[in-house]
Amino acid sequence: MGVTDIETTGEFDTIISQNNKVIVFFWAPWDAHCRIMSPVFDQYSNEDEFRDNIKFIRVDVDTLKDVAQRLGLRALPTFISFKDGQKANEIDVNRILDLLIVLVFGSLPGGAHNHGAARLDPGAVAAYGTKNIANNTRRQVNPDINYTAMAVKIRSATLADVPQIYAINAHYIRNTSLTFLQNTPPKAVFAAKLDEISNVRGLPYLVAVESRTSNTTDHGRSAQDVKPSHHDERGNPTENVQEEVVLGYSYLSPFRGHMLSYAPTVELSLFIHPDQQSRSLGTQLLAAIVAKAQDSNTRHCAREVTERPCGGGEDVELHEVLAGDGGEGVKIRNILAVMAIDPDGKDGGEALMAWYKKRGFIQRGRMEQVGFKKGRWLDTLMTIANGELTMGFFDFLHYLRLKFLISSLRLLVKLVAPLPKPNPDSVLTIPSRDKGRTIKANVYNASGEAVGPRPVLINFFGSGFALQYHGADETFCRFIATKTNHVVLDVQYRVAPEDPFPAAVNDAEDAVKYVLSHPEEYQISHVSLSGFSSGGTLALVNSTLFPHGTLKSLIGFYPSPSMAGDPAARKAPVPGRERPSFWTKIFREAYIRDKDARDPRISPAFVTDTTNFPQEMLIFTADHDVSATEMEALAERIKTEGQASGRNLLLRRMEDCDHGFDKKKKNENQMEAGREAYAQAAEFLSRLEGESG
C-alpha cells in the first residue's frame, strides 16, 4: 500500500475518517531519529500482514502544526494509531511493532506486558541510534496502551455453522481454481464431513466468527448469503438479534485415511469469506488449527476395516482396527497443505504458497497439469509442516521481531557504511532448484586470452546469514582474476529471516552444480571454493556435499564453523576485542530457527567424516576473533585425519587482527594483513594451476 505523505489538515481529517485502521508517523526532517525511522516505516507499509490492513500516513509536524497541537504531541518521532476514526494508541519508536500487531490482530497474546517476542530489546534500540529512549531521557506519552480485543472469536464448528460454511466454499468452487471441485456438494455432505472429522476422527474443525446484529452488515459488505435469518412467531424479522457470522473456517482431514500408517499425517483446508480477506483471519485460523494439532489431547482416531473369523467354519465379520496401541488414536506429526496454482491469483497463483512458506511450511513437491478446470490445466503444490517446525501465532510474531531487528541493522549499515556498487565483467543467472527462482553471480574474468575452459573459483560473501553484502568481496574477486588464470563467480545467496536454513546452503550447492554441469565453459577438474565469514562457512559446508576429489581446493577467510553453544561464552585466542554477542545470537536465531545447531550443514565442525573436504585448503583466522578457536580446532582435525591421503591444509592466524580484517578500511595494519592474505590466496591457486597443467 505504501505511505501517504499528508500535505493539508483537510487531507489528514479525511483519511482518518474514511479508513478503518490508520497509523500516523509524526516526524520532522531535521530530526536524526525521524530520518532513520522514515525508511523503516516505509518498509512496514509493504509488509504482507500490514499493507492490506492499515493505512500508513506520514505527517511533517512543521507543516501541520495545528494537527500536532490538537493531538498534544510531546516527542519525536511519535506514532499514533486510529481505529474507526478515533484515536486508539500513542507510542514512540520503542514500541511501534506492538502497535502494528494490535491494529491487525486486536491484541497481543498473553497481554501487553508479558509478551516478550514483540518487544525491542536494547540491541535494537541501539541499532536505531535512539539511546535517549533507552536511557529514559525522552518522555513516552502514553506507556500504558489499552489493548482492546477484536470481536473475532475462533471456536469449534457446529452443525449450525454449516449453511455459512457451505456458502463460503460455494464461492471458491464457482469462481476460482483453488479447489478442484466443479460442483457444490449438498449441505448434507458438509454436515457429514463435519461429523466425520470432529466426532469420528477426533480432528479439529474450527470457525472464525464475529458477533453482529441480524439487520446490519459490516462496513457496507454484503454477507446475506452466509447469514441465517431470525423471525418472531408471526414471521416478522426481529431487530437487534445477536448472531455469529462465520468469517472463515479451517479443518484437518485424513491423508489417505484408509491406511493406518498415514494416521500421523493430516491435510489442512482453510477458507476465508471473500469479503474478509484483509483482516489476517487466515493467519489466526492457521495458528489456532496448528495449536490444536499440537495439543496433547488431540489424537487422530484413524481406522482400517478388515475381516475376522466369527463363530465356526468360514464365517467372517467386519472389524475396525483403530490407530494407537490401545486404539486411542495417534498424535499428529505432519500437516500437509496442498494447493492449486490459480493463474488468476496473486503473483500468478504463487502468492499462496509463499504465504504458507512464510508461516513455517516447506515446499515438498509440485505436480504439473494434474487438474483441469475453467478450460485449462492446473498445477498443484504440496507444502508440509512437520513435528520439527510446526508454527503458531507466537512463532509468527517472533519472525516479525527478528525481521524488524535485522531490517533495522540493514538500514543502519546502509546509512553508515553503504556498500559501493560492484562492477563485474558480467552477471550470470544460475537456475535454482526452486521453480521460478534464479541465483545471481557476478563474474570476474581472468586476464589474458582464454584458451579453452578456465579454472573457476566460486566465492560466497560474508553475511551473518542475515545481511545482504553481495559485492563486498569485489576487491578480492578482481585480484584473483587478475593475478591467476581463474574465472571468479561471486554468488549471491538468500539470507534470513526471510529465507532461513537451508536456503543459503541450497543456493550455494546449486551454484557449484551449475559450474560442474558446464565443462565447455569451466575446467571442472579445477573448481575451487572461497568464502568470507559465513560465506566461508558455506564453502566448508558445500565442500562436504560432493564426493572427495570433486573440488580442487578451498580458501576460507575467518569462517565460523559452529553455531552451537552460547556465543557470549566464546573466547578469541587473544581476548579483549571480541565482537558483541547480541547480533550473533539474533543472526543465529533468524538463520537456524529451531533446527539442530549441530547439523553439519549448519555447523561443519560437527561433520563426522572429514574425507570429503578438498585435498588442498587454505584457512585464515584472526587472533582477536572468537571464531578462530573453533576454526583452528576443526582445521587441526581435518589435517590430522587427512594425513594418510596427503591432504595439504595451510592455516594462518593473522596477528593483531579482528573478524573481517580485510574490510577494516580505517585500520591500515589490518588492511595490510588483508592484502597479504589475498596475495597468499593468489599464490596458492597459481601453484595448483601449475601442478595440474
pLDDT at residue 602 tops 90: yes
pLDDT at residue 380 tops 80: yes
Q: What is the pLDDT of residue 122?
A: 27
Residue 49 binned pLDDT confidence (cut-offs 50, 70, 90): low
Q: CA neighbours within 13 Å on the CB side: how many for 404? A: 27
599 or 576, which is more confident = 599
Q: What is the pLDDT of residue 527?
A: 97
376-401 average pLDDT score? 66
**Comparing C-alpha atoms, which of 691, 616, 633, 100 is closest to residue 397?**
100
Q: What is the pLDDT of residue 217?
A: 37
Query: Helix, strand or coil for residue 21?
Result: strand
Q: What is the pLDDT of residue 555?
A: 98
Q: What is the pLDDT of residue 317?
A: 84
Q: How far is CA 98 from the centre of its chain?
A: 19
State the Cα angle at 417 between 416 and 421, rounded to 5°.
135
In total, the chain counts a number of residues equal to 693
Pairing of strands 55-60, 3-6: parallel
Q: What is the pLDDT of residue 94?
A: 46
251 or 578, which is more confident = 251
Query: Helix, strand or coil for residue 5?
Result: strand
Q: How many helices (H) and strands (E) does the chain have?
A: 18, 22
Cell of 644: 594418510
* pLDDT digits 0-9 by tens, 439-470: 999 999 998 776 789 999 999 999 999 999 99
pLDDT at residue 489 tops 90: yes
Provide the phi-psi class of 487: left if phi over 0, else alpha when psi is between -120 and 50, else beta.
beta
Cell of 172: 471458491
Percent of the chain with pLDDT over 90: 44
265-272 β-sheet, strand order: 153-156, 205-213, 242-254, 265-272, 334-340, 376-385, 362-373
Tell me which amino acid residue 9 is. Answer: T
Find out whether 582 and 607 touch, Cβ atoms under 8 Å: no
* pLDDT digits 0-9 by tens, 3-20: 999 999 999 999 999 998
pLDDT at residue 138 tops 60: no
Q: Which of 349-353, 392-396, 615-619 has the lowest mean pLDDT?
A: 392-396
630-654 average pLDDT score? 92
Cell of 250: 479451517
Peptide bond into 547 cis (omega under 30): no
Q: What is the pLDDT of residue 392?
A: 46
Tell me which amino acid residue 388 is. Answer: E
* pLDDT digits 0-9 by tens, 396-421: 667 777 888 888 888 878 877 788 89
Residue 83 binned pLDDT confidence (cut-offs 50, 70, 90): confident
Q: In the beta sheet, which residues pair with residue 334?
A: 265
Q: What is the pLDDT of residue 688?
A: 92
* pLDDT digits 0-9 by tens, 519-545: 999 999 999 999 999 999 999 999 999
| DSSP-H helix ranges across 279-430 | 281-294, 350-358, 393-416
**Comparing C-alpha atoms, which of 652, 650, 631 is closest to residue 642?**
650
Residue 241 binned pLDDT confidence (cut-offs 50, 70, 90): low
* pLDDT digits 0-9 by tens, 332-354: 888 888 888 877 777 777 788 88
Name the E strands within 119-166: 153-156
Cell of 76: 519525536
167-189 average pLDDT score? 91
State how far the Cα of 350 lies from the Cα of 341, in Å rounded to an integer. Answer: 6
pLDDT at residue 582 tops 90: no
Which helix or strand (DSSP H or E) is residue 367 part of?
Answer: strand 362-373
Tell me which amino acid residue 517 is. Answer: S
Beta-carbon count within 10 A of 50 CB: 21
Q: What is the pLDDT of residue 543?
A: 95
Q: In the beta sheet, which residues pair with residue 21?
A: 83
pLDDT at residue 111 tops 50: no
Residues contacting 254, CB < 8 A, separation 6+ = 201, 203, 262, 263, 266, 267, 300, 302
Q: What is the pLDDT of residue 621?
A: 97
Cell of 2: 505504501
Q: What is the pLDDT of residue 354?
A: 81
* pLDDT digits 0-9 by tens, 651-682: 999 999 999 999 998 899 999 999 999 999 99
106-124 average pLDDT score? 31
Q: What is the pLDDT of residue 225?
A: 40
Residue 112 binned pLDDT confidence (cut-offs 50, 70, 90): very low
Cell of 130: 535512539
Beta-carbon count within 10 A of 580 CB: 11
70-98 average pLDDT score? 75
State how far the Cα of 617 lies from the Cα of 639, in Å rounded to an integer. Answer: 9
Peptide bond into 264 cis (omega under 30): no
Please report where in the chains the cell 596427503 appears, as a residue: 646
State the Cα angle at 330 between 326 and 331, rounded to 5°.
140
> Which range has the top average pLDDT, 285-299, 314-328, 534-548?
534-548
- Terminal Cα distance for the chain, rounded: 59
State how far the Cα of 203 lies from the Cα of 196, in Å rounded to an integer. Answer: 9
Find out whether 507 and 674 touch, Cβ atoms under 8 Å: no
566 or 227, which is more confident = 566
Q: Show the domains of the chain with their CATH numbers.
A: 3-134 (3.40.30.10), 153-230+239-332 (3.40.630.30), 419-692 (3.40.50.1820)
Can you state the angle between helices 393-416 and 32-45, rounded to 10 degrees?
130
State how far the Cα of 508 lies from the Cα of 539, in Å rounded to an integer. Answer: 8
Query: Helix, strand or coil for residue 691?
Result: helix
311-317 average pLDDT score? 78
Q: What is the pLDDT of residue 152?
A: 76
Beta-carbon count within 10 A of 469 CB: 21
State how far the Cα of 122 lies from the Cα of 268, in Å rounded to an integer. Answer: 39
Distances (CA, A) of 370 to 175, 353, 373: 19, 17, 10
Give φ, ψ of 436 to 5 degrees: 90, -5
Q: In the beta sheet, which residues pair with residue 154?
A: 208
State how far the Cα of 513 lies from the Cα of 67, in Å rounded to an integer. Answer: 60
State how far the Cα of 354 lies from the Cα of 364, in Å rounded to an integer. Answer: 13
381 or 669, which is more confident = 669
Find out whether 622 and 657 touch, Cβ atoms under 8 Å: yes
Residue 487 binned pLDDT confidence (cut-offs 50, 70, 90): very high
Q: In the beta sheet, which residues pair with residue 378?
A: 371
Sign of CA dihedral 313, 319, 323, 326: negative
Find out whether 53 and 10 touch, Cβ atoms under 8 Å: no
